[in-house]
Amino acid sequence: MSWLSDVFSDSSAPQIVPPTATQVANYYKDVKANNPAYYETIKANDPDYIASQQAAAYAAPAAAAAAAPVSVAPTGPEVALKQLNDTLGSGFESRYLPDTLDDPFINTALTSGRSKADEFIQNMLKRGVLNESGRGNAVKALDTQTGGITSKLNALGSALISSDRANLTNLANQKRAQAQGTPVGTEFDPTPLVNEIASTGQGYAGSFGTRFNASLPPGDLYDTSGIGAASGAVTGPQNVSYDPYAVEGGQLSTGLDDQAPAVPAEKKRRTTVF
């Protein structure tokens, strides 16, 4: 079983927490500031954007006109279901949770993990555990890991997106069943149901980064164990960059203290005055 399966089969894995009212209210502003590309795909649902478009297109009427009476035709189960599906639109799950949703979080995790591994190698070089040639070999060893790590992170992000989409589909199916329960001749307004689905989708997108980071495997992304031996570590004090005292963490003992003869304490001369 892969580490990805362990993440999603572990009952202790973080659960999805519905967004707070403040998070929902600031959702579009946060997305616009932090993920402009994603905002472009969902801005059609942003109340502020809608208002700005309406204001730009507004033209004052030449003369006041009486509002036309609103007429809502009687509906039934089939009509109500069609109204709901038409309002939702096809592929609504992907509109709220696009395939690119995990990209910035994958890039951040990958960059952070590589920086930590590079720092580890640089510290080995500073301590004299690696020579310059060994440092180059160590960097190449890290490079070979990047492809596999990226694939694992992509798989984690895709699994989370698929899980959130499935939850959104289940919620929509519940609302479809509710619409199909509309009695014949009863008016039906799909707006509240669609708004609830939209709010839930926005909540999943808003909390995605936190849940993605919490699902990362424990430990470092890059494996640096044994990298010194495999990359040309310094092998002896003949190499001028070798610092045994640093390697031993300041605890190195040469054994000279045990071999050196003890120096007798000098006796203090005493002068007696009679």
Residue 10, in any domain of the structure: no
Q: In 10 A of CB 57, how many CB atoms?
A: 7
Residue 162, in any domain of the structure: yes
Residue 146, in any domain of the structure: yes
Residue 63, in any domain of the structure: no
**Secondary structure of residue 215 in the 3-state scheme:** coil
**Percent of the chain having pLDDT more than 70?**
67
Retrieve residue 102's tokens: 């995990």
Quick one: pLDDT at residue 55? 62
Residue 34, in any domain of the structure: yes
Q: What pLDDT band is residue 69 in, cutting at 50, 70 and 90? A: very low
Q: Taking a C-beta distance cutoff of 8 angstroms, is the pair 87, 191 a contact?
A: yes
Which structural domain, as residue segments, surrounds residue 131?
A: 30-52+72-235
Residue 160, in any domain of the structure: yes
pTM over the 0.95 mark: no
- Cβ-in-10-Å burial (0-12, 13-18, 19+) of 157 comes to buried
Strand ranges in the chain using DSSP code E only, listed in sequence order: none
The arithmetic mean of pLDDT across residues 144-149, rounded, is 95
CA distances (Å), 121 to each of 109, 113, 130, 208, 242, in order? 19, 13, 8, 32, 15
Q: In 10 A of CB 183, how many CB atoms?
A: 11
Task: Pick the more confident residue, 65 or 120.
Answer: 120
Of 205, 198, 159, the closest CA to residue 175 belongs to: 198
Q: Taking a C-beta distance cutoff of 8 angstroms, is the pair 202, 19 a contact?
A: yes
Lowest average pLDDT, out of 46-50, 104-108, 181-185, 187-191, goes to 46-50
Residue 123, in any domain of the structure: yes
DSSP state of 11: T
Quick one: pLDDT at residue 237? 42
CA distances (Å), 103 to each of 35, 41, 106, 255, in order? 10, 15, 5, 56
pLDDT digits (tens, 9 = 90+) for 72-88: 455 789 999 999 999 99
How many separate domains does the chain show? 1
- Cβ-in-10-Å burial (0-12, 13-18, 19+) of 117 comes to buried
Q: Taking a C-beta distance cutoff of 8 angstroms, is the pair 130, 233 a contact?
A: yes
Residue 273, in any domain of the structure: no
